[in-house]
Structure 1
Amino acid sequence: MRTAPSSEAREVARAAAQWLALFESGEATDADHARLQTWLNSHSSHENAWQKAQLLRQRFCELPPALAMATLDRADPARRAALKRMLGVAALVPAAWLISRQLPLDVWRADLHTGTGERKKLPLADGSSLQLNTDSAVNVDLAARQLTLVRGEMAFQVSGSAPLTIRSPYGRITVSGSEVCVRLDERTCQVAVVSGAVQLQPLQGPGLTLHAGQRISLQASGAGPIGTFDAMLPDWRSGVLMAQNQPLGDFLRELGRYRSGLLRWDPALETLRVTGSFRLDNTDRVLTLLAASLPLDVQSRTRYWVTLVPRKNIG
C-alpha cells in the first residue's frame, strides 16, 4: 500500500510546482534562475521534486507549437494574455497532480527503476542479470518467469536453460541462454540480441526467432524488418554513447535522455556531424567536448537549463 506523502514532502512538491509554472510562463528572469539554483542546491529532495515535476510536464499534452506561434505573432494583447494563462494552466495541471498524488505513475510503482542519468546492474535470484538504463522501470515476477518493461531500456541475460519472458506493450520476447537489449519508446519496442537467440511474438503477425547481431522493431501493427548491429561495440551498458558521423540533433536527443532539465539547441546545429565515444557519467563534459570540436557554444543559465548556439565569428 502506498503511504501518504508527509506535509514536508507536499510543501517541497508545491514549491517545485510553483517554479515549474513560473518557467513555463516565459516570465522568469535571470534572478529567478539564480533563485531556483539556490533552492535546488539547498536539499536533495528539492532536486528530486524538480526532476519529477519536469517529467510529468513532458508527459502531459502541450499547446501545439503552430497554435502558440500563431497567437503570439498577433498584436492583440488580450490574445497574448490568454495564451499565457493557458500555458500557466498547462504547467499547473501536472504540477497539481504531483502535489496531490506524489507521482503514482507506473514507473514509480515498478519493482525496479532508475532516475534520469542513472544506470543499474542487478543480479536476480535465479542467476539472471538485469541492467536498467536511464529513466527506466521494470516489474519482476520470477515465480511466473516474467519481466514487464514499463518504460525505458533494459539489458537482460539468462544463463540457464529455463526460459523467461519479457513483456512489452508491443509483444513478448522469450529469452533462454541468451542476452537481449530491449528499448521501449512511445510507439515501438526495439529488440537487439547480443548473444544466443530469442523468440519474438509480436501483437500482430507470426512469431519469429532473432539471432545474435540482429535487431528488430516491434510496433502495434507487428514486427518490422530485421536489421543488424555490432554487438561488440560499447554502448550504454558500459556507460558509453557512441556516434559515427551522426547528425548532431539525433545525438543531442539521445544525450538528453541522460540529463535532468532542459537541453536545447539552435536548429542551425541540427545537421552538424558527430563522431566519437563519450562517457555518460558526465554529460556536462560531453557538451564541453562538442564545443571544442564543433562550431558551437554552450550557454548555461543553470545546471538544468542549457542551450547550444552557433559560434559567432570574431573579427
Structure 2
Amino acid sequence: MSGTAPDVARAAAQWLALLESGTAGERDHTGLQQWRDSHPQHEQAWQKAQLLRQRFAELPSSLAMASLDRPQPGRRAVLKRALGVAALVPAAWLLSRQLPIDVWRADLHTATGERKQLPLADGSALQLNTASAVDVDLARRRLTLLDGEMALSVPGATALTVHTRYGQVIARQAEVCVRQLADACRVSVLKGQVQVLDMHGRTTLMHAGQQARLEALGLAAPSPFDILQLGWRDGVLTAQNQLLGDFLRELDRYRPGVLRWDPSLEALRVTGSFRLDDTDRILSLLATTHGLQVQLRTRYWVTLAPRKTLS
C-alpha cells in the first residue's frame, strides 16, 4: 500500500537525503530498493527526486552548501544536514513554479508510462499522456496543464480554456493537443480551430492541421504538424526514418527509471510502429533490428550499446 502523495514525496526526499549524506550502507540501499519496488508511486516519486537533484546540482556551490557551514561531527549530524538540504529543494521548486507536490496533488494525473481517457461532466473528452497532471475546474470552464501532455475534445460551442505556463488555449467545437515542454508548450490542432492567448495578451487563431510553440515571448509561427507525434492517443509510438537518439528520448518518457545509450547510436535510423504498453519489447526489437545489446543494471536502469562481435 502507498501513503498519501505528500507522505510519498516526503519519504522520497528522506531517502535521497540519506544517500546524499554519504553515510548509507548496504542495508540502506536494500531498504531503498524495497521501498521503490513496493508501489509504482514510490518509484515515480524517486525518479522525480532524482531529476530534482540533477537540476539543483547546477547551483553555485556556495548556495548548495549554505546549510552545511556549521560543522557537526557524527553520522546523526551529517544526516541532519543532508535532510536540511533536501528541505530547501521543495521551496526552491515552488519559487520556480515547478513544485512536484503540485503534480501529485493534481485533480487528474498519470504515472510514468500510464495513459488515461477521461470523459468530463460537460461532454468533453480528455486524454492524459505519460507523467501528466491536470487540474479541472469546469465551473469556471478551465483546465490547468501542470505537467506532461493532454488531448482535449470539446464538442460543444461553450469554450473550455487550457491554462499553461506560457499562456492559454481556448477551444470550442475543436480537438487540440497541448504538451508542456521545458521552455515552452506545443499546441497541435486536430479539428476545428482554437484561440491561443500568450502571456502578453496577444491572441492568435490556429486551425486544424497546425501546430506551434507557445513560448515566453509569444506564439511562434504555426506549421503543419506530424500526425505521428500524436500516436500516443492510440497507445502507439511511431517513427518514420527517425534518428534513433530522438526516438529513444521520446521512448524515455514512457519508462520509469533511467534509459541510457551509447552516443554512437544517435545517428542510426528507425522506422516502425511500437506499442507503448510494453517498452521492454520495444527495446528488444530495437536490439534485434539494429544489432544492439540491452544491458540491465536493475529493472529501472537500462543501457543500450553496440553489440560486441567476436574477433
TM-score (norm 2): 0.78
Aligned to 1:55: 48
**2:78 equivalent to 1:116:** no
Match of 2:276 among 277, 280, 287: 280
**2:144 equivalent to 1:162:** no
Contact 2:198 2:219 (C-alpha < 8 Å) held by counterparts: yes
Change in 2 beyond 3 A, CA 1:219/1:90: farther
Change in 2 beyond 3 A, CA 1:4/1:175: closer
Aligned to 1:244: 240
Match of 2:171 among 171, 175, 179: 175
Cα drift, residue 225 of structure 1: 1.4
Change in 2 beyond 3 A, CA 1:170/1:260: same
Gaps of 5+ in 1: 68-88
Cα drift, residue 104 of structure 1: 6.2
Contact 1:152 1:184 (C-alpha < 8 Å) held by counterparts: yes
Gaps of 5+ in 2: 62-80, 91-98
Q: Amino acid of the residue matched to residue 47 of structure 2?
A: Q
Aligned to 1:229: 225
Change in 2 beyond 3 A, CA 1:232/1:264: closer
Change in 2 beyond 3 A, CA 1:97/1:239: same
Q: Amino acid of the residue matched to residue 245 of structure 1?
A: N
CA–CA separation in structure 1 for the residues paired with 2:10 and 2:83: 17
1:180-259 equivalences in 2 (<5 Å): 180-204=176-200, 206-231=202-227, 235-259=231-255
Contact 1:20 1:53 (C-alpha < 8 Å) held by counterparts: no
Cα drift, residue 208 of structure 1: 1.4
1:251-270 equivalences in 2 (<5 Å): 251-270=247-266
225-234 vs 159-168, which deviates more? 225-234
Cα drift, residue 164 of structure 1: 0.9
Contact 2:18 2:82 (C-alpha < 8 Å) held by counterparts: no
Aligned to 1:71: none
Aligned to 1:17: 16
**2:147 equivalent to 1:151:** yes
Q: Amino acid of the residue matched to residue 290 of structure 1?
A: L
Q: Amino acid of the residue matched to residue 17 of structure 1?
A: L
* Deviations 1:290-310, CA, capped at 9 Å, x for gaps: 001113210011110101111
Contact 1:158 1:179 (C-alpha < 8 Å) held by counterparts: yes
